[in-house]
Chains A and B, each alone.
Chain A
């Protein structure tokens, strides 16, 4: 299995798992999903988008919005696989944390 995705990369893939989005929508969704902890600037956002397109994890949609000013992005098959592998890892980690009584039980530390 490949190494874990960087936080911003994961957040973009996760935000695109609901529906295709353009840049601003992506920013809003990421901010919402992270409870306001991840606030991206346009430069950082498109730098990561470029990397994800190069890695074939997301792709540009063949259509833009009505004014053709905004491009939409969606997950590719490879992107879905990568995201689900990442989520499985998180699921296992949370499961372990519960077993070790770090999480989600009476008397848990977190």
Chain B
């Protein structure tokens, strides 16, 4: 194994991106198979083709194994409260996507409806994503602490275990994105009764309102 690692140092380093259990079981075999392929090749062109195939194959295979690993964790190790809160917080983001998509597809037909007026707009644009963000971050914190205690490992290490954290992190990133979009979106000023844009651009909005 050591000999193979020194023979293909970059490829061996790339194989470290596989999940740990997979690495333990198959990394040596993968390196040995590559060595066999290269040793039995008859020309430089053939060797280049083998390397080409291997370089394309490695990232795809690594992504696939990581996804499989994350799926296994979700099925076998993820506690019920993580699954429930992840689904619930994801559902809190659903109205945003439904309204934005429907409005976009129907030539802004929702723009003058009650969906776009306070307090309804504030609820689906700010409050529900904020609740989803808090819920997912809270769950993320709780489960990371739980794993830290169980595995006697550092909190920082548990934070970077994306295979465990991805459902909560995905919801948190989406929620933060929606909130940032809402408060950062300033392409339209003077949209009467849009609390987010009015808060963000209150001076412009106020000028617009005064000008009628």
Residues of A whose CB lies within 8 Å of any CB of B are 22-24, 27, 39-47, 49-50, 69-71
Contacts of A70 in B (CB 8 A): 29, 32, 36
A24–B22 touching, CB < 8 Å: no
- Pick the contact of B54 from A42, A47, A50, A71 — CB < 8 Å? A42
In the complex, the chain A residue whose C-beta lies closest to that of B64 is: A47
Q: Does B60 contact A (CB under 8 A)?
A: yes
Given A44-B60, A69-B1, A71-B29, 15 more A-B residue pairs with CB atoms under 8 Å apart are A24-B36, A24-B40, A41-B53, A41-B54, A41-B61, A42-B33, A43-B54, A43-B62, A44-B61, A47-B61, A47-B65, A50-B26, A50-B65, A69-B28, A70-B32
In-complex Cβ contact of A44 among B28, B40, B57 (8 A): B57
- Tell me, yes or no, whether B137 is within 8 Å of chain A by CB: no
Chain B residues within 8 Å of A, Cβ to Cβ:
1, 22, 25-26, 28-30, 32-34, 36-37, 40, 53-54, 56-58, 60-62, 64-65
| In contact, A24 and B57 (Cβ under 8 angstroms) | no
* Neighbouring B residues of A47 by C-beta, 8 Å: 61, 64-65
Asked if B53 and A46 sit within 8 Å, CB to CB, the answer is: no
Residues of A within 8 A of B29 (CB): 22-23, 42, 46, 70-71
Query: Are A27 and B64 in touch, CB under 8 angstroms?
Result: no
CB distance from A78 to the nearest CB of B (A): 20
A45: which B residues are within 8 A, CB to CB?
33
